[in-house]
Every structure is written in structure tokens, then in C-alpha cells.
């Protein structure tokens, strides 16, 4: 019997190798037990099986304990304080604020939602990143409406001088700009105001007196406002950043003080100011002289930054037209006169097919208000009118001396195209924005030489 058991066990070496087999006499196997009947056999389990069984029992006990804890947590309701702690621990501050706000506003009506100023600023940043994306996000989350964000910005007290709150909001937009879009220039322009004083009871102050943003020198009603604005060079954006009120035109010294503050503030939020643009008012002419601007060098220091100072091309073209209307210019053997333009218009307006159909009597005799329109000046100092005058000279309809006027008009047309064009795809060699190529540089050097040569020889009545 023992021999048969060993033979069977030898065929299962892997499964039963840990079993200890004892002789039949030792385990109580009766030699006389009939086939088909069972007998209880005492088999001793190895230490390995005993240890595994104990570990399995412990694991089952631990598993039962965890299941009981899970069931208990499922029935437990978390407090809002506990939820906020979890959000603060596992989420970023911005996302945590968004999630917590959704929980706080759960169940509130469309008109019963209240948002903190910090959350409104966060939503304003989202809106700056993409208005369309914000409107889509508002459909699935509880967010302030676009109008609510507009009202939030409207409550900013916009006083003369530097407004810190404005720059804090502008900083949200700047942080999401690329380096190219941050390049901008600052412009200054003045406008006339009617004298008017009123008392602002919320601020407890009188509004409408002279105020440059740093001090009120005297309580004189303001008649002029100087506005400071940023404009992108590589992308289409603009933002007014401040203003100053004055009884007359803002003095050049005050303009410089305000510019120093603005440029330092703008630079601190990450924008790259590369130029200053003004018109040709007497105070700005004084400012340019005070800063040392010349035809050879227009780089100036304002604040802690070196920038380029240049006059607005739109004002320059109007100034050129106004000077041509009141004076005759001569250089070398050429002469430019407003009378040549008037003679051409008198003949062309009677023609069946006009060569300069946009030219009207308003262009020739503008009022003081119409002189402010850039389009009227550009349409006179144009290549179209210059070519038309040359055609009339060719057919002996105008004197040959009018060739100087045609040359004068064409030169200013090309200059205006170079300095005031957005197009980078030229229709001709000089009809596109300045890019520093050789053709443009040669033309500008010739124009510079031209301005040094010509002079006024006669005042017209």
C-alpha cells in the first residue's frame, strides 16, 4: 500500500511536493478496508501553507474593514469647509476658485448670483483670452455675464494722471500676449473743452478744474484735455491710459513728467514702448526741442527707456497742405504753388471724363473745421493729382512751371504712404509700409535733401 501511494505522489511533484506522506500504519489506514469506502486520514499541512493561510486571513480582515469604512464615507455628507480644503490642496488657485464658486452658486437663480471682485478679475482674464471661448464656458459654468464684466470695469475711478487699477486690469491682458504683440507706441493728443464745473459727491471733489494728475496748481476751469494712449504696432489694439486737464495747452514740462510716469508704469507690466507720437502743437514742438530731437537723431530718454520721437504723419500731411495754400516753395529750378492746383481743378471740373474725380471745391477751399480732415489733404497731395497736372502740361493746358507743383505733390504722397501704410505687399516700389529696403532708404535720403533745399519765397493773400 505504501508503495502505491508513493508511486501516485511521484506523478504530482509540483502540486503536492510540500505534503509529508507517512506510512499507512502510522496514519491509521486499515489493511482490511473494503474498496469504495473512505477513511479519515490525518495529513499534516506544511509551514508554508500555514503561513499563507494566516496572511490571507489578515488580508480578508483588512479588506472587510476598508469596505466598512467606504460604506460609512458614502453615507457621510461632506461639509463645504471640508470640500474647500480638498480643492485648495489638490487644485491650482484659479481652478480651485472656479470650482468652489460653482458649488456656492449651485441652486441659485439666474439673477441671484453674486461674485467676488477677485473672481470677476479672474473671469475678466478669461474673457481677454478669448470672448468666444468665454461665452461657451458660460453655458456650462456659472460665470458673470459679459455685461457684468463691463460694469465691473466701468466702476474704476478714472482720474487725471496714473490710474493703478487700470494698469492692474491691463496686466491681465498683457500676460497672455506674445512678445511681438507687446511692442507698441504711446501717443499724445489734445482736444478743446467747454468750461464746466460740477461737484462729484461720491469723490467729494470739484471736477473740471486744471489737473495734471500730480497736483492742482490752481482752481481754474479747464479748457483743454491731453489724452495719452497706447497702440500696438504688430497687432490691432489700442488703450487710453490717462489724461490731464489744463486751462491752456498742457506745458511741455508737464507733458514730460506725465510721460516719464506712464512709460515706467507701462514697462513694469510687460509692454515694450518703442516710440512717442505727437502732433505739431507748439507745446509738443517745445517738448521735442527740450528732449534734443533733431533731423539727425530722434532717440530720446523718457522714464528709464530710450524711445523714438516722431510727429504724426497725418498731421504732417495736413501741415504740408496748409503751408502750400499760403506760400510758394522754390528749390533748384522748380516752384510749387497752390495756384497750379486751382488752375488744374478749374479746367478738369469742366471735362467730361475727369482725371481726378475725387477733387472737389471743398478740397480747394476748406473751412477751419474741414482742414482737420486728413482725407481732404491726402486727396490733394496725391499721385493722381500730380499725374493729372503733368498730363495737362503735356497738352499745353497748364504752364510748364506747374511741373514743380506736380513733383511736390508726388513726393508728399510717397512719404505719406511709407509712414502711414499698413500694407506690406507693395503695388509699387514706394506704396507700402516702411521696411528698410534700399529703395525706401534712397527715397528718404532724397526727401531729406529736398526739405533742406526748398524755401518759401512768397506769402499768398
* Residues 15-50: tens digit of each pLDDT: 444 444 444 444 444 444 444 444 444 455 555 555
- Looking at the fold, whether 369 and 385 belong to one and the same domain comes out as yes
Domain for residue 278, yes or no?
yes
- Looking at the fold, whether 450 and 336 belong to one and the same domain comes out as yes
Sign of the CA dihedral running 205, 211, 212, 215: negative
* Nearest Cα to Cα of residue 398 among 324, 339, 448: 339
Q: Where is 245: in which H helix or E strand?
A: strand 238-246
Question: Using 50, 70 and 90 to split pLDDT, how confident is the model at 13?
Answer: very low
Q: Domain range holding 102?
A: 91-153
- Looking at the fold, whether 187 and 276 belong to one and the same domain comes out as yes
pLDDT for 204-215, tens place per residue?
888 888 887 777
- Looking at the fold, whether 275 and 381 belong to one and the same domain comes out as no
* Domain edge (last residue) among 153, 172, 199: 153
Does the pLDDT value for residue 386 go beyond 70?
yes
Quick one: average pLDDT of 81-99? 77
- Looking at the fold, whether 301 and 325 belong to one and the same domain comes out as no
- Distance between CA atoms of 100 and 116, rounded to whole angstroms? 12
- Looking at the fold, whether 338 and 374 belong to one and the same domain comes out as yes
Domain for residue 187, yes or no?
yes
Quick one: average pLDDT of 169-182? 85
- Looking at the fold, whether 103 and 226 belong to one and the same domain comes out as no
* Nearest Cα to Cα of residue 410 among 320, 300, 350: 320
- Distance between CA atoms of 361 and 366, rounded to whole angstroms? 8
- Looking at the fold, whether 303 and 361 belong to one and the same domain comes out as no
Q: For the chain, what is the domain count?
A: 4
Domain for residue 175, yes or no?
no
Domain for residue 160, yes or no?
no
- Looking at the fold, whether 337 and 425 belong to one and the same domain comes out as yes
- Looking at the fold, whether 306 and 217 belong to one and the same domain comes out as yes
- Looking at the fold, whether 304 and 322 belong to one and the same domain comes out as no
DSSP at 40: -
- Looking at the fold, whether 146 and 129 belong to one and the same domain comes out as yes
pLDDT for 337-377, tens place per residue?
999 999 999 999 998 889 999 999 999 999 999 999 999 99
The pLDDT value recorded for residue 214 is: 73
Amino acid at each position: 500500500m505504501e508503495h502505491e501511494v508513493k508511486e501516485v505522489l511521484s506523478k504530482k511533484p509540483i502540486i503536492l511536493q510540500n505534503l509529508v506522506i507517512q506510512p499507512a500504519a502510522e496514519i491509521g489506514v486499515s489493511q482490511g478496508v473494503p474498496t469504495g469506502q473512505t477513511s479519515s486520514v490525518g495529513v499534516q499541512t506544511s509551514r508554508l501553507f500555514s503561513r499563507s493561510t494566516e496572511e490571507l486571513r489578515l488580508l480578508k480582515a483588512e479588506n472587510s474593514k476598508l469596505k466598512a469604512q467606504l460604506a460609512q464615507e458614502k453615507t457621510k455628507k461632506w461639509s463645504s469647509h471640508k470640500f474647500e480644503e480638498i480643492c485648495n490642496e489638490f487644485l491650482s488657485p484659479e481652478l480651485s476658485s472656479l470650482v468652489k464658486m460653482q458649488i456656492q452658486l449651485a441652486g441659485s437663480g439666474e439673477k441671484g448670483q453674486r461674485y467676488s471682485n477677485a473672481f470677476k478679475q479672474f473671469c475678466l482674464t478669461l474673457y481677454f483670452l478669448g470672448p468666444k471661448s468665454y461665452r461657451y464656458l458660460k453655458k456650462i459654468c456659472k460665470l458673470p455675464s459679459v455685461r457684468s464684466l463691463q460694469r465691473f470695469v466701468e466702476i474704476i475711478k478714472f482720474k487725471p494722471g496714473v490710474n493703478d487699477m487700470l494698469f492692474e486690469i491691463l496686466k491681465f491682458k498683457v500676460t497672455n500676449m506674445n512678445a511681438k504683440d507687446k511692442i507698441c507706441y504711446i501717443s499724445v493728443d489734445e482736444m478743446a473743452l467747454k468750461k464746466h464745473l460740477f461737484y462729484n459727491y461720491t469723490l467729494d471733489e470739484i471736477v473740471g478744474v486744471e489737473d495734471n494728475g500730480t497736483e492742482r496748481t490752481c482752481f481754474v476751469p479747464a479748457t483743454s484735455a491731453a489724452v495719452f494712449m497706447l497702440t500696438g504696432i504688430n497687432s490691432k489694439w489700442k488703450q487710453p491710459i490717462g489724461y490731464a486737464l489744463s486751462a491752456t495747452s498742457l506745458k511741455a514740462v508737464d507733458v514730460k513728467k506725465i510721460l516719464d510716469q506712464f512709460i515706467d508704469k507701462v514697462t513694469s507690466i510687460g509692454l515694450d514702448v518703442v516710440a512717442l507720437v505727437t502732433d505739431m502743437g507748439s507745446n509738443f514742438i517745445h517738448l521735442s526741442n527740450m528732449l534734443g530731437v533733431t533731423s539727425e537723431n530722434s532717440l530720446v530718454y523718457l522714464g528709464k527707456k530710450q524711445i523714438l520721437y516722431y510727429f504724426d504723419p497725418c498731421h504732417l500731411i495736413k501741415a504740408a497742405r496748409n503751408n502750400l495754400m499760403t506760400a510758394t516753395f522754390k528749390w533748384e529750378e522748380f516752384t510749387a504753388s497752390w495756384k497750379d492746383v486751382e488752375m488744374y481743378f478749374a479746367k478738369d471740373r469742366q471735362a467730361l471724363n475727369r482725371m481726378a474725380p475725387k477733387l472737389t471745391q471743398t478740397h480747394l477751399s476748406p473751412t477751419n473745421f474741414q482742414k482737420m480732415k486728413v482725407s481732404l489733404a491726402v486727396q490733394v497731395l496725391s499721385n493722381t493729382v500730380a499725374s493729372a497736372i503733368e498730363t495737362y502740361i503735356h497738352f499745353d493746358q497748364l504752364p510748364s512751371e506747374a511741373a514743380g507743383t506736380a513733383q511736390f505733390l508726388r513726393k508728399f504722397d510717397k512719404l505719406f504712404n511709407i509712414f502711414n501704410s499698413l500694407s506690406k505687399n507693395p503695388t509699387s516700389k514706394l506704396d507700402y509700409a516702411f521696411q528698410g529696403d534700399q529703395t525706401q532708404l534712397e527715397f528718404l535720403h532724397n526727401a531729406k535733401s529736398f526739405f533742406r533745399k526748398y524755401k518759401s519765397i512768397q506769402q499768398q493773400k
